[in-house]
């Protein structure tokens, strides 16, 4: 099933939480709604589920306008951060709950429960009490409970926020796998850009109730439309650049080719594109290492160059030369790797 959000706005007592949001999720795809707290992600999810009603706009599933439909008619299922499992029921009863409401036969329920338990790799734990499950297992249980209803649209509301980093990584792989296998069109709310990049076919970056940019993860990461998206995607090295007296934009002595008519542009110099040298090989730019941070297999250098500070990320390999604080270094980058923002 495909999902389309058309000009959806939501106002709560005069406060506009969503402003004319337009989005589309193709059949079988995951769209990540990415944004900081309060930007309207959950509100949009709840509108799709039919838990609240939009002030204006429409929600379409395939070619059907479901805007006025009650939640129970929509065939969506939600997976929550806090699992929302029933503590007085065991695992099997929790998962069967949606089907018992539909008054299905017990044998049919049992076989479907076993099937989804297998899918989320909890098979054999049917009689476990909820409080005897780990955080990761509870999240699998919550997913199983959503899957058993065979929803047209799966809605994930920050499902991994309560888990530690290692478990988050393995669970997002798991969600990806299950989503691929079932092919259920999904929306995944998160404030974590890494999670969004890892899991989604498309990402919508939201701010103050609006979609700032919407596209493939690679586009959003490498070609953010403005400094807000760049910052949200964890991209450092955003600079402003003025036209010189000859009407040319230059950055650290290099000429930028652009057809921009404005007096100033904003650009991103990807930190992974900055090379560092110990000695001047000619045409290099002199700087001083101001700070060094180790981030897993990467070394983040902050380097003072002329009147600005820029970051250079290098892979921390055994053979890699490691520079020290206050060391004079020379840097270089290919001017073609800079990205100029469309919007300011």
Ligand X SMILES: Nc1ncnc2c1ncn2[C@@H]1O[C@H](COP(=O)(O)OP(=O)(O)OP(=O)(O)O)[C@@H](O)[C@H]1O
* Chain residues in the site for ligand X (CB under 6 A): 12, 15, 17, 35, 37-43, 191
As measured in angstroms, the least distance from the Cβ of 96 to ligand X is: 30
Neighbours of 191 (CB within 10 A): 17
Please name which of 202, 152, 158 lies closest in space to residue 24, comparing C-alpha atoms. 202
Q: Reduce the secondary structure of the chain to three states and give it as a string.
A: CCEEEEEEEEEECCEEEEEEEEEEECCCCEEEEECCCCCCHHHHHHHHHCCCCCCEEEEEECCEECCCCCHHHCCEEEEECCCCCCCCCEHHHHHHHHHHHCCCCHHHHHHHHHHHHHHCCCCCCCCCEHHHCCHHHHHHHHHHHHHCCCCCEEEEECCCCCCCHHHHHHHHHHHHHHHHHHCCEEEEEECCHHHHHHHCCEEEEEECCEEEEEECHHHHHHCCCCHHHHHHCCCCCEEEEEECCCCCEEECCEECCCCCCCCEEEEECCHHHCEEECCCCCCCEEEEEEEEEEECCEEEEEEEECCEEEEEEEECCCCCCCCCCCCEEEEECCHHHCEECCCC
Cβ proximity to ligand X: between 110 and 191 the closer is: 191
As measured in angstroms, the least distance from the Cβ of 206 to ligand X is: 7
Cβ proximity to ligand X: between 14 and 253 the closer is: 14
As measured in angstroms, the least distance from the Cβ of 37 to ligand X is: 3
Cβ proximity to ligand X: between 8 and 96 the closer is: 8
As measured in angstroms, the least distance from the Cβ of 215 to ligand X is: 20
Cβ proximity to ligand X: between 15 and 246 the closer is: 15
As measured in angstroms, the least distance from the Cβ of 210 to ligand X is: 12
Neighbours of 305 (CB within 10 A): 18
Cβ proximity to ligand X: between 18 and 171 the closer is: 18
As measured in angstroms, the least distance from the Cβ of 77 to ligand X is: 18
Cβ proximity to ligand X: between 95 and 189 the closer is: 189
Cβ proximity to ligand X: between 20 and 254 the closer is: 20
As measured in angstroms, the least distance from the Cβ of 258 to ligand X is: 34
As measured in angstroms, the least distance from the Cβ of 41 to ligand X is: 4
Cβ proximity to ligand X: between 48 and 95 the closer is: 48
- 143 phi, psi to nearest 5 deg: -65, -40
């Amino acid at each position: 099933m495909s999902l389309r959000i058309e000009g959806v706005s939501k106002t709560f007592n005069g406060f506009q939480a969503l402003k004319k949001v337009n989005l589309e999720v193709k059949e079988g795809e995951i769209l990540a709604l990415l944004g900081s707290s309060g930007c309207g992600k959950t509100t949009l999810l709840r509108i799709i589920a039919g838990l609240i009603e939009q002030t204006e706009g429409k929600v379409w599933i395939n070619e059907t306008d479901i805007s006025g439909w009650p939640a129970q008619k929509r065939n969506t299922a939600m997976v929550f951060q806090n699992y929302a499992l029933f503590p007085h029921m065991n695992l099997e009863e929790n998962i069967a709950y949606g089907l018992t409401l539909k008054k299905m036969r017990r044998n049919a329920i049992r076989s479907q429960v076993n099937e989804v338990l297998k899918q989320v790799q909890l098979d054999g734990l049917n009689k476990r009490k909820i409080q005897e499950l780990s955080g990761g297992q509870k999240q699998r249980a919550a997913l199983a409970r959503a899957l058993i209803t065979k929803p047209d649209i799966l809605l994930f509301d920050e499902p991994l926020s309560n888990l530690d980093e290692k478990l988050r990584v393995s669970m997002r792989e798991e969600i990806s796998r299950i989503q691929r296998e079932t092919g259920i069109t999904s929306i995944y709310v998160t404030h974590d850009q890494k999670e969004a990049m890892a899991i989604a076919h498309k990402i919508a970056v939201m701010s103050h109730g609006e979609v700032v940019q919407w596209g493939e993860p690679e586009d959003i990461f490498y070609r953010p439309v403005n400094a807000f998206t760049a910052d949200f995607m964890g991209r450092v090295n955003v600079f402003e650049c003025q036209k010189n007296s000859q009407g040319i934009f230059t950055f650290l002595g290099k000429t930028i080719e652009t057809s921009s008519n404005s007096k100033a542009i904003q650009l991103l110099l990807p930190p992974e594109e900055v090379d560092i040298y110990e000695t001047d090989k000619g045409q290099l730019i002199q700087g001083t290492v101001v700070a060094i941070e180790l981030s897993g297999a990467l070394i983040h250098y902050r380097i003072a160059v002329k009147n600005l500070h820029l970051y250079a990320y290098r892979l921390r390999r055994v053979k890699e030369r490691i520079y020290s604080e206050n060391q004079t270094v020379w840097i270089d980058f290919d001017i073609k790797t800079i990205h100029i923002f469309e919007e300011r």
